[in-house]
């Protein structure tokens, strides 16, 4: 796992099409802004897990 430190208004790039910017840090929460092509699906992990579980259940 790559671990990076960023401050508010700093960004990181994934490939050349995905940009993640730290928008705000308050207490134990970090707000991120994600710029990516519409073809890239972006989900919170718990939402992605639910989608995967629902898809697996539909195949059964």
Three-class DSSP category at 24: strand
DSSP state of 39: T
Query: In terms of pTM, does the model score above 0.85?
Result: no
- pLDDT band at residue 60 under the 50/70/90 scheme: low
Rounded to 5°, angle at Cα 46 from 23 and 9: 10
Share of the chain above pLDDT 70, in %: 98
Write down the pLDDT at residue 56.
83
Domain total for the chain? 1
Considering only CA atoms, give the Rg of the chain. Answer: 15
Cα 1 to Cα 4, 20, 23, 52: the distances in Å are 10, 17, 22, 23
Residue at 3 is within a domain: no
Q: Could you tell me if residue 1 is inside a domain?
A: no
- The whole-angstrom separation of Cα 50 and Cα 29 is 22
The answer to whether position 15 is within a domain reads yes
- Domain limits for position 33: 11-59
- Tell me, yes or no, whether 2 lies in a domain: no
Within-domain flag for 39: yes
């Amino acid at each position: 796992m790559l671990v990076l430190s960023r401050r508010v208004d700093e960004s990181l790039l994934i490939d050349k099409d995905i940009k993640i910017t730290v928008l705000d840090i308050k207490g134990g929460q970090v707000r991120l802004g994600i710029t990516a092509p519409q073809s890239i699906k972006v989900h919170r992990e718990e939402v992605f897990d639910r989608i995967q579980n629902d898809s697996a259940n539909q195949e059964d």
